[in-house]
Amino acid sequence: MTGALSGLRVLEIARNVSGPYASRLLAEQGADIIKVEPPGGDPSRAYGPFPEDGGNPEKSGLFLHLNRNKRSIVLDPSSADGAGTIRALASEVDILIEDYAPGEAARWGWGYETLANRNPRLVMTSITSFGQTGPYKDYRGSEITLQAIGGPLHANGFHEREPLKLGGQYAHFHTGITAALATLIASRRAESSGQGDWIDISVYECQAGCRDRRSIQLTIAAYTGMAGGRLRNTTRGFGVGVRKCADGYVNIMGAGAKRLPRLLQMIGESEVAKTIDPNNLPDSQKIQLEERYQLWLDKRGKKEVVETAQSYGLLAGAFNSIADVVDDPHYDQRKAWDEVTHPVAGKLKYPGRPFVMSASARRRPTAAPLLDEHGQEIRNETTGPTTTPAKTGRISHKDLPLSGLRVAEITVVWAGPHVTQLLGEWGADVIRVEPSNKIQPFTRGMERVPNQKQIKELVGNGAPIGFPNNDPGSDPWNRTAAFNSHARNKRSMACDIMHP
């Protein structure tokens, strides 16, 4: 077996996080990545952590993580010599990923039109903060400013305080994932039609369209005229949310008509479970039950809490430290880690491939390259300008790139519906299959439809409920923003999915 992307050649002229992460995802599945670094190297070489050595550019944890399975060549992309080498390399690859400011590649002599004249099938992905056009195109963006202007900060933190940034490089990693998907979608059409594409990716727009709160909240705003944000005057409901236990923190989903009785049985309150109305607990009873719940948690470690909660049919997870994750037996059993020896940084354990393919071999991992480690080797491989013959296939370059692809979607809640949403947007025929015996509670927003009193309270606290005009109507399962934000561009059918 070979990797799913074996034979695919990629030229990466990108720095820091988004572009390198996009090409790393392709490299994991066998693509040959030529990484062009500017003189002095990718700026991420200066970022920590540095294992056992402060400041050595060959030991940057971020660079080592993002650039495994690649080859490195140093070129000045703004110089005549560097641009000439880039043009020669681009004539021989399938994909080019770059992240320089709008107009710079063209000004330096390796813009898309120039490269496409030499290699018509080339897919070029350009990643910038705000895109190649528009009033913001020349603005620079940092992680915190892009999270702020794109939207996630709007919903994070307490209403009375400043918005909170999500940790790390969330916006740029998300953009890298989007770039990898977009690049492969365009490559599918290029392989069939012989016509390449220029992909314009904006970190800002990736944030606004992110499934994690943004796309749902934008749909809610369209339905209600209200923008959800950090909630006011809110208290944590009993049975749901993060709580401290004996050795850390856990998150248990124990609220709602089905789950709250199970939670009460778990903490030894079986008699109470028989008498309460799970959706209308008096405040005094909530306080008493909260105290008993916390006493139960204080006596148990997070591993025991999670296992016990799951045995009662509750959704539960522990808050793992980095050490917990690295030592997790589940990851070890699935061989999720790659142990790689770097000539300078030494032997380290790295996150491996994010998914398993049954018919594709796992790539033998290689270390991130030393600066210009493969420069001469790559120059020797370059044969000069070539014209790639056009290929006639079943997909025209005028068609959406996933035209002809048929997808049966049998998923619930979040990740699966979002994946097929993205496929549907680019031309795939997605058929959503749902059970005929019940309405899916979370996916269609039917876990708990608020009554008019609850709607008034929620809206008063700045929390629009996600139905048009804040009204669930007689068919709330068809009206919820959470479902409608990911179910567009799909067809729907219902059947008994539990029996042959």
> What CA dihedral angle connects 292, 294, 298 and 301, to 10 degrees?
110
Q: Which residues pair with 96 in a beta bridge?
A: 11, 124
For the segment 437-461, the average pLDDT, to the nearest whole number, is: 80
CA distance 316 to 340: 33
Check residue 414 and give its pLDDT. 81
What pLDDT does residue 262 have?
95
Residue 5 has pLDDT above 70, yes or no: yes
The predicted pLDDT at position 173 comes to: 96
Bigger pLDDT: 481 vs 464: 481
Segment 228-251 shows an average pLDDT of 82
pLDDT surpassing 90 at residue 383:
no
pLDDT band per the 50, 70, 90 thresholds, residue 213? low
Question: Residue 377 corresponds to which tokens in the numbers above?
Answer: 């080797």
More reliable by pLDDT, 133 or 470: 133
Which class for 148: exposed (0-12), middle (13-18), buried (19 or more C-beta within 10 A)?
A: middle
State the DSSP string of 173-192. HHHHHHHHHHHHHHHHHHHH
Q: Where are the alpha helices (DSSP H) in 312-384?
A: 322-326, 329-333, 375-381
Tokens read off for 245: 């236990």
C-alpha radius of gyration, the chain, whole number: 26
Domains 9-212+333-381 and 240-323 agree in fold: no
pLDDT surpassing 90 at residue 99:
yes
Q: What is the mean pLDDT of the chain?
A: 89
Statement: residue 32 has pLDDT above 90: yes
Q: CATH says 240-323 is which class?
A: alpha beta
- Taking each helix axis as running N to C, give the angle between helix 302-311 and helix 259-266, from 0 to 180 degrees, rounded to the nearest 10: 130
Given a cut of 60, is residue 1 above it in pLDDT?
Answer: no
Please report the pLDDT score of residue 66 as a whole number. 96
The residue written with tokens 């993002």 in the block is 66
Can you give the pLDDT at residue 18? 98
Q: What angle do CA 259, 455, 162 make, to 5 degrees?
A: 90
Residue type, 429: D
Q: What is the mean pLDDT of residues 295-299?
A: 97
**CATH code reported for the domain at 9-212+333-381:** 3.40.50.10540
Q: Is the pLDDT of residue 314 over 80?
A: yes
Phi-psi domain of 335 (left: phi exceeds 0; alpha: psi -120 through 50; beta: other): left
Residue 152: per-residue pLDDT = 77
pLDDT surpasses 60 at 469: yes
Distance from C-alpha of 450 to C-alpha of 453, rounded to nearest angstrom: 8
Other Cβ atoms within 10 Å of 253 Cβ, number: 15
Q: Whole-angstrom Cα distance, residue 224 to residue 218? A: 10
Is the pLDDT at 10 greater than 60? The verdict is: yes
Model confidence band, residue 234 (pLDDT cutoffs 50, 70, 90): low
**Where do the structural domains in the chain lie, given as residue ranges?**
9-212+333-381, 240-323, 406-495
Top-ranked range on mean pLDDT: pick from 1-15, 121-135, 431-445: 121-135
Q: Is the model's pLDDT at 241 over the cut of 60? A: yes
pTM recorded for the entire structure: 0.89
pLDDT band at 357 (very low <50, low <70, confident <90, very high): confident
Q: Is the pLDDT of residue 199 over 60?
A: yes
